Amino acid sequence: MSVKSKEKSLAISAPNFQTAEFVIEGTSPFVQNKFSQKAQEEMKAKHTAGSTAKKDKKKQPKDFQALYEGAKHVSNQGWCGIPAPAFRNAMISACRTVGFTMTHAKLGVFVDADGFDKHDRTPLVKIFEGEPTYLEIPVRVANGEPDIRPRPCWDPGWKAKVRIKFDADMFTLEDIANLLMRVGQQVGIGEGRPDSKKSAGMGWGLFKIADGNGRKK
């Protein structure tokens, strides 16, 4: 008696990515904090110095204006932007509100960049309306001591154009629009956002979709 083995085939379809474009408008302040190039250089110098780093070290006066400028994400072209990964991470986080598997969303949602940070090459989404103002925030550092940190702040009304590339076999255009709306109302972006890992936030970084429900590109 002969036994014939059944052949199994697996059909894998080609990626079906589409891009949707949304204009968003801030409904609360957007506050930014970048790990500045100066801080990176100081850290590098400390590691290079090794065990001699703390010997006879004097505390230098704090340059608040320089810290404020260093907290901005500035592109090679000179405009300020929001890290594109901030939107992607926020959309993935928002999947929890509707029971969609976050690990699946990581494979199906991406945000196109308008440019890159001139220092660390972070992909950026351009803020095309609104100018940053100087803001001082009281904080407590790791050892519990109070400190003051200057930050760039965009008042409500700031605008950006977000281009989202998504797997159309996983999401519809309406899904993406609704997910971005949940980001704008429940998750937020930047410092003090409701979905902050360290606190319940300040209600900053919220926005609405200002240009309809988005359109495919």
**How much is the pLDDT for 187?**
97
Distance CA 102, CA 127 (A): 27
The pair of structure tokens assigned to 168 is 């159309």
**How much is the pLDDT for 49?**
54
**How much is the pLDDT for 191?**
95
**pLDDT > 90: what percent of the chain?**
71
Please indicate whether residue 17 or residue 8 has the higher confidence score (pLDDT): 17
Distance CA 204, CA 212 (A): 23
Q: In the Cβ-directed half-sphere of 15, how many Cα atoms lie within 13 Å?
A: 9
Please state the φ and ψ torsions of residue 188, each to the nearest 5 degrees: 80, 170
pTM: predicted TM-score of the whole model, two decimal places: 0.84
**How much is the pLDDT for 38?**
47
Distance CA 145, CA 138 (A): 11
**pLDDT > 70: what percent of the chain?**
82
Write out pLDDT tens, residues 110-121. Answer: 999 999 999 999
Write out pLDDT tens, residues 86-126. Answer: 999 999 999 999 999 999 999 999 999 999 999 999 999 99
